[in-house]
Amino acid sequence: MQIRVKCKCGEGKCPEWAVVELQGVVEAQPSFQDRLQNLEIGVLCRPSSQPVYTFKVGYHELTGSKVALKKPMLVLQKTKRTGTGDTDVGTDTNSSNVELQVIGIIRHRILFKTRPKPLISKPQPAVKEKASAPGAVASNQTA
């Protein structure tokens, strides 16, 4: 069985994806488990010119940084070709309908490794289950 790895993008033009990486699991409130689409997870902030970031999820704040990956990662999409059947006789060729397409590349991730810091005295908590419009939050932050 042979799968070709295809790439439409060509060198240097591969769309770059972003990764926000947290330790642990992000969970929505039970009533929202089935309709996660479009739900806000949190707000990512960059307080200064350093590549330091904070991520507010619900009542917690995480601190992290943007790091370059040691080795780039490719985002591949597996597709099944639906075209006309092969007229090849002999060894199995039905497997040649699977294709892998390179659709993106990841070179950096924003990695959060700290323990979540509870935010107690916030006037407007960005509650997980509400899909609220993000306000301008940069100035609210305490280091």
119 in contact with another protein (CB under 8 A): no
Question: Does residue 92 contact residue 3 with C-beta atoms inside 8 Å?
Answer: no
Which position among 29, 65, 67, 77 is part of the footprint of another protein (CB under 8 A)?
A: 77
Q: Which of 141, 117, 142, 139 is nearest to 58 (CA)?
A: 117
Nearer residue to another protein within complex by CB, 83 or 90: 90
36 in contact with another protein (CB under 8 A): yes
Taking the CA atoms of residue 76, residue 79, residue 84 and residue 90 in that order, the dihedral angle to the nearest 10 degrees is 80
Kindly report the number of other CB atoms within 10 A of residue 126's CB atom.
19
- Report residue 17 as tokens: 């994806």
117 in contact with another protein (CB under 8 A): no
Euclidean distance between CA atoms 137 and 143, whole angstroms: 13
Which position among 61, 62, 64, 110 is part of the footprint of another protein (CB under 8 A)?
A: 110
How many residues line the site for another protein (CB under 8 A)? Answer: 68
Interface residues with another protein (CB under 8 A) are 1-7, 9-11, 14-26, 36-49, 53, 55, 66, 69, 71-79, 90-91, 100, 102-104, 106, 108-110, 130-134, 136-138
